[in-house]
Amino acid sequence: MPALAGGIAMPNLSDILLYALGALAVVGAAWFALGSSWNLRRGNEVLRWLRQSLPALGERTTLQWLGTSAVKLTIAQAKDPFKDLEVVIVMEPRDVPLLWLYGHLNGRRDTLIFRGHLRQPPRPEIELASTRLWTGREALGEVDRKAWLPVTLRQAQDAGGADAGAPSTQPYVAMSNGAQGQDLLNEWFARSTRLAPGLARISVRRGAQYQLQWHSSIPDLKSVSSSEIIHLVRQIGRQASQ
In a domain, 6, yes or no: no
* CB 169, CB 157: distance < 8 Å: no
Domain containing 21: what range? 13-241
Q: Give Cβ neighbours of residue 177 (< 8 Å, ≥ 6 apart).
A: 124, 125, 126, 148, 149
| Spatial distance between the Cα atoms of 194 and 163, rounded to a whole number of angstroms | 11
Q: How far apart are CA 73 and CA 145, in angstroms?
A: 32
Please tell me the predicted confidence (pLDDT) of residue 29.
65
pLDDT of 23: 64
Q: What is the CB neighbour count within 10 angstroms for residue 16?
A: 10
The overall average pLDDT reported for the chain is 86
In a domain, 31, yes or no: yes
Structural domain includes residue 92: yes
Residues recorded for the chain: 242
The candidate with the shortest Cα–Cα distance to 134, out of 80, 69, 83, 186, is 69
Q: Is 76 domain-assigned? A: yes
Contact assessment for residue 194 and residue 202, using Cβ atoms and an 8 Å cutoff: no
What is the C-alpha separation between 121 and 85, in angstroms, rounded?
Answer: 14
Query: How far apart (Å, rounded) are the C-alpha atoms in residues 132 and 44?
Result: 26
pTM: 0.83
Q: Is residue 2 part of a domain?
A: no
How confident is the model over 20-47, as pLDDT tens digits? 666 666 665 665 678 788 899 999 999 9
Q: Give the model's pLDDT for residue 207.
A: 85
Question: pLDDT tens, 162-172?
Answer: 444 444 345 89
Sign of the torsion formed by the C-alpha atoms of 128, 117, 230 and 105:
negative
Asked, for residue 79, whether it belongs to a domain, the answer is yes
- 4 located within any domain: no
Number of compact structural domains in the chain? 1
pLDDT digits (tens, 9 = 90+) for 112-127: 999 999 999 999 999 9
The arithmetic mean of pLDDT across residues 189-205, rounded, is: 95
Query: d(Cα 60, Cα 42) in Å, to the nearest integer?
Result: 23
97 domain residue, yes or no: yes
